[in-house]
Amino acid sequence: MTQFAIDNSWLIPFMPALAFIMIVFFLRKAPQASALFSIACIFTSFVLALGVVGGILANPTTTEHSVTWFSMPGVSLEMGTLIDPISGMMVFVVTLIALLVQIYSIGYMENDPGYSTYFAYQSLFAMSMLGLVVSNNFLQMFVFWELVGLCSYLLIGFWFYKHSAREAAKKAFITNRVGDFGFLLGILFLQILFGTLNFTDLADIIPTYTNIGLLTVVALLVFAGPIGKSGQFPLHVWLPDAMEGPTPVSALIHAATMVVAGVYLIARAFFLFVAVPNALMVIAYVGGFTAFFAATIAITQNDIKRILAYSTLSQLGYMVMALGVGGLTASMFHLMTHAFFKALLFLGAGSVIHALHNKQDIWEMGGLAPKMPVTTKTFVIAALALAGIFPLAGFWSKDEILLAALSNGYTGLYLIGTFVAFLTAFYMFRLVFVAFYGEPNPENHPHESPKVMTVPLIVLACLSVVGGLVGMPWLKTNFGSYIYFGEAHHGYSLSIMLTSTLVALAGIYLAYLMYYKKTISAEAIAHRFQPIYKLLYNKYYIDEIYQWFINRVVDGAGRVAYWVDLYVVDGVVNGLANGTKWGGYLVRYLQTGQTQHYGMVLIAAVVVIVILLGLIDPSMGIFAGGGAK
């Protein structure tokens, strides 16, 4: 079974692809059947993914299968699958979360007119994401990378009749294009420099390449992809707006799977980044800065999904930073645990929004704890896990990252990371105390969500509790024995663990005092630090800066280009087009319909060709391009 799954890993992305095709062509009119078929397919993929994980746990090797896609002299492109511990872990996480989210969606999307379409998009997304994960070369990865972007666009704009949803979908797509452009340039460079895009081949060639300057440029271009997809500063602006999509979509795409594609790409191409330490350093600081920057914004936000979105940005920053400091194991470990508890947080938020009929402001919630016991309990577990409280999942992975930063000499990033841990605990429990334990809002009549929604919550809650234990540093074989770059590391530092736990507890306590006990007035603080508060509340005015840039610079350049297009390009093009058209009419008159005429042309042509052949000495090369033999 496990060998079958590893050898036929193409089936993992194929199953949801099948679901997509079936729904689009045959099941569109039958919503229930669409949902069931889609879930059945992703479940099959999940079982296969379990087989892959089982096989890898028994024997951690790399299995590659590929076929030639397109070949010509000099260039040969391939399609294939690469299964190793990293991609094995990813297919497991992606299929698991996708499966749970699809089950949850049965309840959440009930009565939505686009029910079938929703499941078709979900399947398309699962196919794209899994295809990306199992890719064995950059080009195939890029194809699926773009497909994932397309699905994100479709799902953010799923309620396209809402103006804000349309705008958010466009924003996500366009912002991602900026990063993807760099990524594509990087891929082209790799093809030109090394003649192959295969990960395994490149991993062998790149360490021997000596032009470090050029390689740094290539690595940074490739890194532009993750900056866009994984919402790193300065291309992070699309992710909070992406919350316009249905909440299960936010859980699947904008928390647990798609946005970590960038992190996965860096891990997959780690051989490239390791070869150029400067690029690695840039990655570390971009990640560290994003982690801090997003966490500070999260403190001031009021929309439940936006708080979680900024938290996601911050945690993605953590993962990128971990890669930058060389901690591939830590980063992948955090990717996995984060997928569990962040999906849980989003699904929990979805449960709340569902119960309150689309209210998203945490100040309008309050007092949900007694009415929605399951949602509340699982949400608190996830919040504790995210805050990094012992022994929940986040505790282990966060400490790994902090340890990696400190032991690789990035003391500054370690301090930032620890401070972010404090901020994380604070904003999460600000949310918990206000929304779940605050004054009940008399307008609300919350009720617990149906089983089909709460069961996925419970499953994820269990994983958030125990998911981190696989990475316990005291185990002889743990997460790091399978997923590592170079050599596996085992190490821990009790002082880091203690510090980060204390910091997280301090964050929770502060939130408790401010928002539950109210012994410290939040308003007073906000008032006292008015400028800073406004700066954070308005997300550092990044959106406004971009808007200004677009209005002034891009639109200005656009106007100039428009003038050129209108008077110069159009003139030439229209002239050419009219010329071509007239040429066409002229040519038509050659066709007279007279057979004798045609016969004459035929004979005349033979004569002309004979004369031509006689006149032209081929050595003069009038017609030959020079290379004819």
Partner 1 sequence: MDYTLLVPEIFVASLACLLLILGLIAPKGEKRGLVLFAIVGIIASIVVVAAHFNMFDGFLGRMYLVDSYASYFKVLFLVSVLLVCLTTTSYFKPLAGEGSEAYAIMLFATLGMMILVSAGELITLYVGMELMTISFYILTANLAGEDARSSEAGLKYLILGAVSSAVMLYGFTLLYGVTGTTLIHQIALHSDSSPAFWLGVVFALSGFGFKVAMVPFHMWAPEIYEGAPPPVTIFLAVASKAAGFAVFVRVFLTAFPYHADHWVPIIAFLAAITMILGNLAAIPQQNIKRMLAYSSIAQAGYLLVGLVAANQLGVKGILFYTMIYVFANVGAFAVTIVFNNVSESDDIADYSGLAQRSPLLAATLLICMLSMAGIPPLAGFAGKFYLFSAVIDQGFLWLAIIGLVMSMISVYYYLSVARVMYLGQVTDYSAIKVNGSMKLLLYGCMILSIILGVYPDALAQIANTAAKFMF
Is 374 within 8 Å of 454 (Cβ atoms)? yes
Bridge partners of 75, per DSSP, are 72
Q: Does 572 bind partner 1 (CB under 8 A)?
A: no
Instruction: Give the Cα separation of 421 and 394 in Å (integer).
Output: 10
- Per CB under 8 A, 214 contacts partner 1: no
In the complex, the smallest distance separating the C-beta of residue 18 from partner 1, rounded to whole angstroms, is 16
Q: Is 262 left (phi over 0), alpha (psi -120 to 50) or beta?
A: alpha
* Count of all residues that appear for the chain in the document: 629
Residue type, 8: N
Residue 195 interacting with partner 1 (CB under 8 A): no
- Closest CB 10 distance from partner 1, rounded Å: 13
Q: Taking a C-beta distance cutoff of 8 angstroms, is the pair 434, 364 a contact? A: no
**Can you say whether the dihedral through the CA atoms of 233, 238, 239, 241 is positive or negative?**
positive
Q: Which is nearer to partner 1, 563 or 598 (CB)?
A: 598
The verdict on 573 binding partner 1 (CB under 8 A) reads: no
Q: Does 615 bind partner 1 (CB under 8 A)?
A: no
593 binds partner 1 (CB under 8 A): yes
Beta bridge partners of 404: none
**Nearest approach, Cβ of residue 142 and partner 1 (Å):** 14
Cβ atoms of residues 516 and 508 within 8 Å: no
- Least distance (Å) between residue 140 CB and partner 1: 12
Question: Interacting stretch for partner 1, rule CB under 8 A, among 178-186, 445-453, 505-513, 577-585?
Answer: 577-585
User: Please, what is the minimum distance in Å from the beta carbon of residue 25 to partner 1?
Assistant: 11
Q: Interacting stretch for partner 1, rule CB under 8 A, among 166-174, 522-530, 551-559, 601-609?
A: 601-609
Distance of CA 261 to the CA centre of its chain: 4
Where does this chain touch partner 1 (CB under 8 A) — which range of 9-17, 175-183, 528-536, 578-586?
578-586
Max CA separation in the chain (angstroms): 106
Q: Does 583 contact partner 1 by CB under 8 A?
A: yes
Task: Check if the beta carbon of residue 511 is closer than 8 Å to that of residue 430.
Answer: yes
Positions 156 through 175 that interact with partner 1 (CB under 8 A): none
Count of residues that interact with partner 1, criterion CB under 8 A? 44
Assess 601 for contact with partner 1 (CB under 8 A): yes
Q: 72: exposed, middle or buried (C-beta count within 10 Å: 0-12, 13-18, 19+)?
A: exposed
Which position among 67, 137, 253, 542 is part of the footprint of partner 1 (CB under 8 A)? 67
Binding residue for partner 1, selected from 161, 213, 614, 615, defined by CB under 8 A: 614
585 lies in the binding site for partner 1 (CB under 8 A): yes
Compute the least distance from the CB of residue 590 to partner 1, in Å: 8
Q: Which of 192, 494, 602, 615 binds partner 1 (CB under 8 A)?
A: 602
The reply on whether position 626 binds partner 1 by CB under 8 A is yes
In this chain, which of 73, 113, 213, 442 binds partner 1, going by CB under 8 A? Answer: 73
Q: Are 347 and 460 in contact (CB under 8 A)?
A: yes
Using rule CB under 8 A, residue 568 touches partner 1: no
H or E segment to which residue 569 belongs:
none
624 makes contact with partner 1 (CB under 8 A): yes
Among 518, 527, 534, 581, binds partner 1 (CB under 8 A): 581
d(CA 377, CA 440): 17
Q: What is the nearest approach in angstroms of partner 1 to the Cβ of residue 626?
A: 5
Which sign does the torsion angle of CA 362, 363, 367, 371 carry?
A: negative
Beta carbon of residue 67, minimum distance to partner 1 (angstroms, whole number): 8
Is residue 629 within the footprint of partner 1 (CB under 8 A)?
Answer: yes
595 touches partner 1 (CB under 8 A):
yes
Residue with tokens 């050129």: 564
User: CB count, 10 Å around CB of 69?
Assistant: 13
Provide the mask over 22-61, with x wherever binding to partner 1 is found by CB under 8 A and - wherever it is not.
----------------------------------------
Is 68 a binding residue for partner 1 by CB under 8 A? The answer is yes
Q: Which long-range contacts (CB under 8 A, 24 or more apart) does 306-309 make?
A: 306/240, 306/243, 307/362, 307/427, 307/431, 308/243, 308/250, 308/255, 308/342, 308/345, 308/346, 308/349, 309/239, 309/240, 309/242, 309/243, 309/250, 309/254
Stretch that binds partner 1, among 293-301, 370-378, 461-469, 611-619 (CB under 8 A): 611-619
Instruction: Catalogue the long-range contacts made by 541-549 (C-beta closer than 8 Å, 24 or more residues apart).
Output: 542/234, 542/236, 542/237, 543/237, 546/237
Write out the residues near partner 1 by the rule CB under 8 A: 67-73, 577, 580-581, 583-585, 587-588, 590-591, 593, 595, 597-599, 601-606, 609-610, 612-614, 616, 618, 621-629
